[in-house]
Amino acid sequence: MANVTFSSPKLAKDVTVYAIAGDRGTILSLAKAHKVPIPFDCQDGECGSCLVEVSHLSPTTKNAIALTEKEKELLKQLGKITKDEIYDAEVNDMPPRYRLACQCFVRHEDIVVTFQGDDTVP
């Protein structure tokens, strides 16, 4: 139901994979299944290693993407979410720009996931 394109200096070229409806996996699990080297460590929303930037190809149909308290708190600590983005996420169901790949579930929409692939943040 959704094309997810991974883009990174670590990849020779962008990789687009098709996420199957009902799969309900996270961006990180999709990346791992397709051998896309998104860095990760805890896989539990605690460390921030898996920080990625998510672009929505069709902004008008941006789906509400659940932002857990845990993900929100860590993004805050990392300085990767603004007050406005928190408001938009909580009130308007608009997803913020940066996400934790281990916490962010793939939905029925086409997205581009950008990551650096080293210890620097995207």
DSSP state of 10: T
SS (H, E, C) 78-105: CCCCCHHHHHHHHHHCCCCCEEECCCCE
Distance CA 56, CA 93 (A): 14
DSSP state of 50: T
Nearest to 122 by CA among 55, 61, 72, 60: 55
CB nearer ligand FES, residue 2 or residue 50: 50
- In the list 2, 54, 81, 102, the residue contacting ligand FES (rule: CB under 6 A) is 102
Examine residue 41 and tell whether it contacts ligand FES (CB under 6 A): yes
CB of 121 to ligand FES, least distance (A): 12
- In the list 100, 106, 111, 113, the residue contacting ligand FES (rule: CB under 6 A) is 100
Examine residue 50 and tell whether it contacts ligand FES (CB under 6 A): yes
x/- letters, 57..96, toward ligand FES (CB under 6 A): ----------------------------------------
Residue 72 CB-half CA count within 13 A: 15
CB nearer ligand FES, residue 49 or residue 116: 49
Contact residues toward ligand FES (CB under 6 A) are 40-43, 45-50, 100, 102
